[in-house]
Amino acid sequence: MAHASTPTQQNPTKKAVPRDPVAMGSRDAAFNRSASHEYFLTDRFEAGVALRGTEVKSIREGKANLKDAYGLIKDGEAFLLNAHIGAFSHGNAMNHEETRTRKLLLHKDELRKLATQTREKGITLIPTRLYFKAGRVKCELAVAKGKQEWDKRETERRREADKETRAAIARSQRR
């Protein structure tokens, strides 16, 4: 004897709670705005970051800052120095140190490539952003060469010229 199937209705009054965009990975947890102004950024690499639990929770709260941070290759391992991750609001005495050195997780061939590139004078590793990918914290590292003052002015002039060009095109299309 077959049972009659009745369609089940979901409760229309219950709303889905939207997830945090940082936790979902649709928005960066931290972004280094000054990196592209201070450096010429060339190659970019995605690296995992070895973190403690309270650090991950602080990053989800948006308490990460990459402004003065840089990467370092030492003894075949990569490290992230001076990255500031604020204390977790609900942490206790076992909370993490805010600017401790954190290990970056990269493949061996990527480490070798970065090591050879950073041996050159004036080349360094700059973290450009922290983000979540599949629940894990990732750091985007860029191989960077410092800009001189005149380079910064030239970049600003080029940006202004592009902006004026786009505005002129938009004005002509409106007519």
Q: How far apart are CA 90 and CA 82, in angstroms?
A: 23
Confidence (pLDDT) at 166 = 93
| Residue 48 CA: distances (Å) to CA of 79, 95, 100, 141, 160 | 11, 21, 16, 10, 36
How much is the pLDDT for 26? 63
127 C-beta neighbours (distance < 10 Å), count: 25
Compute the mean pLDDT over every residue in the chain, rounded to the nearest whole number: 83
Give the integer Cα–Cα distance in Å for 59 and 135.
Answer: 12
CATH number (3.40.50.300, 2.40.280.10, 2.120.10.10, 2.30.110.10) of 21-147 reads: 2.40.280.10
Q: What pLDDT score does 12 carry?
A: 59
Residue 115 neighbours by CB under 8 Å, 6+ apart: 73, 76
Q: Which residue has the higher pLDDT, 53 or 74?
A: 74
Domains of the chain, by residue range, sit at 21-147
pLDDT single digits (tens) 74-116: 998 999 999 888 888 777 777 777 788 889 999 999 999 999 8
